[in-house]
Amino acid sequence: MNSYRPFDPDRPLFSSRCSCGRHASDAEHGLDLSAKIDEEQMSADFVEASLVKALFPQESRRRAFLKAVGAGGAMSALSGFLPVGALQAMAQDKAPLEKPDLKIGFIAITCATPLIMADPLGFYKKQGLNVTLNKTAGWALIRDKMLNKEHDASHFLSPMPISMSMGLGSDPSQMRVATIQNVNGQAITLANKHKDNRDPSKWKGMKFAVPFEYSMHNFLLRYYVAQAGLDPDKDIQIRVTPPPEMVANLRAGNIDGFLGPDPFNQRAVYDEVGFIHILTKEIWDGHPCCAFGTSEDFIKKNPNTFAALYRAVLNASTMARNPENRPLIAKVISPANYLNQPETVVMQVLTGKFADGLGNIQNVPDRIDFNPIPWYSMATWMLTQMQRWGYVKGDVNYKDISEKVFLLTDAKKYMGETGIAVPPLAKAGYKKDKIMGKEFDPSQPAAYLKSFPTTKA
């Protein structure tokens, strides 16, 4: 019997529970060494179930059809015009890998959840890859190790591949963004002494940390205070600080706050040295943060390996998007070799049920999400902010840079292969967004840039 049971009208297709019924999910089933899995059979089952899902995207229609014709009749009818066997064979037919042993860099933050969890949960091994995850101290080191080819692929801050490709802060080297690792998932955290200082227009003279100049953290902090009437280059101080050092600097009084990645916002609350002033989803809901990518050179030399790596990370992203899987994910990424954080801190971030340090328990399920689509419009917005604050001088070919660095075409291809739905807008690659109520139209980036009263452009 197909473990997904696509022809069972009484069981949801792609149920959150595993096929044997003893585990909360297929991922937890996979962690149980006593549960034997035939990977080829699971692959065939998934293809068949995906076809049924494509034909009946609405669960109610699938069930009605099955109840009307019965499981046997449905299987017979579908096999008459769907080449199920051929598709299953294609799913199992993987091209030989040019380089199965890979080194991948990462920073120990929850933004890298898909990339990290793919190791303990076996997503890399399932693609025939032997991956070594190298925990790295800071973003400059991440950049340098990619430029020096010490890492084959890497966790990036999403503006980094753009800056590296343009030669900003380093020699130019063409990088590619395969997937967005996470959306939302950051916050502005302030020291406890500022609990009565919540108005950003009154933050003159305060010191803030961000993880890197070419980061969404830097750009979102600048955007936020500029909207409050401050000049981020004159009225506040912004210091580049590695994420693991942010809480210690807050405790020591070296900074007044930080716009940083989790779990360090939540860790500041856990350690009782700070409070969460605002989640970045309240600044821009759905904003990109971190990315997963590699160099153009690596892709050219290792196309099959790159495809396998892409599939592994996309499948991990799909699992991470399901809230029911978050407790298990928190458990497997919290240990010392990954995040090295208390599981309760990571759990609060991933589930969105958290203490804010102000005496409240918040429930924000989409505090962090793992939508992998590398929209061209995301890259375009980053370029406008690089111009706005003087990191880029002169004219910028937004379209050319965005579409060369962000691999949306590849993302759509591999998402389709792995059964992940691609939204209609992604065909064009550009979408409008609202950031603190102000619309960003990616078709008019120059006009958008000129609309800001505070700018260095």
Confidence at 35, pLDDT banded by 50, 70, 90: very low
Tokens, residue 36: 């034997």
pLDDT in tens, 333-349: 999 999 999 999 999 99
User: What's the confidence (pLDDT) of residue 416?
Assistant: 82
Bridge partners for 106 per DSSP:
135
User: What's the confidence (pLDDT) of residue 168?
Assistant: 96
Tokens, residue 228: 């409050």
* 292 within 8 A of 115, measured Cβ to Cβ: yes
pLDDT in tens, 2-22: 555 666 777 676 554 554 555
| Residue 308 reports pLDDT greater than 90 | yes
CA angle 394, 183, 102 (to 5 degrees): 90
| Residue 39 reports pLDDT greater than 50 | no
pLDDT in tens, 87-141: 444 444 567 999 999 999 999 999 999 999 999 999 999 999 999 999 999 999 9
| Residue 68 reports pLDDT greater than 60 | yes
Helix and strand totals (H; E) in the chain: 19, 16
pLDDT in tens, 150-202: 999 999 999 999 999 999 999 999 999 999 999 999 999 999 999 999 999 99
Taking Cα atoms as reference points, which of 298, 259, 256 lies closest to residue 278?
259
Higher-pLDDT residue of 328, 56: 328
Taking Cα atoms as reference points, which of 161, 130, 153, 123 lies closest to residue 314?
123
pLDDT in tens, 227-251: 999 999 999 999 999 999 999 999 9
pLDDT in tens, 200-214: 999 999 999 999 999
**Sign, CA torsion 77/78/81/85:** negative
Taking Cα atoms as reference points, which of 319, 320, 385 lies closest to residue 350?
320
Strands 175-180 and 183-184: unpaired
As a whole number of angstroms, the distance between CA 16 and CA 451 comes to: 46
User: What's the confidence (pLDDT) of residue 89?
Assistant: 44
Taking Cα atoms as reference points, which of 147, 134, 200 lies closest to residue 174?
147
As a whole number of angstroms, the distance between CA 166 and CA 173 comes to: 7
| Residue 384 reports pLDDT greater than 90 | yes
Tokens, residue 276: 């969460």
As a whole number of angstroms, the distance between CA 454 and CA 224 comes to: 12
Q: Where are the beta strands (DSSP E) in 326-411?
A: 353-355, 361-363, 368-369
| Residue 24 reports pLDDT greater than 70 | no
Indicate the pTM of the whole model.
0.81
Confidence at 420, pLDDT banded by 50, 70, 90: confident
Q: How far is CA 387 from CA 235, 367, 435, in A?
A: 20, 29, 17
As a whole number of angstroms, the distance between CA 361 and CA 354 comes to: 5
Taking Cα atoms as reference points, which of 182, 181, 177 lies closest to residue 407?
177
* 68 within 8 A of 62, measured Cβ to Cβ: no
User: What's the confidence (pLDDT) of residue 28?
Assistant: 52
* 25 within 8 A of 61, measured Cβ to Cβ: no
As a whole number of angstroms, the distance between CA 350 and CA 46 comes to: 27
> Residues 338, 343, 346, 348: what is their CA dihedral angle, to the nearest 10 degrees?
170
| Residue 83 reports pLDDT greater than 50 | no
Confidence at 63, pLDDT banded by 50, 70, 90: confident
User: What's the confidence (pLDDT) of residue 441?
Assistant: 97
As a whole number of angstroms, the distance between CA 286 and CA 281 comes to: 6
Average pLDDT over residues 47-51: 61
How does the average pLDDT of the chain come out, rounded?
88
As a whole number of angstroms, the distance between CA 390 and CA 457 comes to: 6
Strands 186-191 and 274-279: antiparallel
Strands 433-435 and 438-440: antiparallel
As a whole number of angstroms, the distance between CA 354 and CA 362 comes to: 5
3-state DSSP assignment of residue 152? coil
Q: How far is CA 25 from CA 2, 85, 127, 222, 386, in A?
A: 16, 27, 20, 41, 42
User: What's the confidence (pLDDT) of residue 95?
Assistant: 79
Contacts of 156 (CB under 8 A, 6+ apart): 142, 175, 177, 290, 291, 292, 293
Residue type, 225: V
Tokens, residue 400: 């050319």
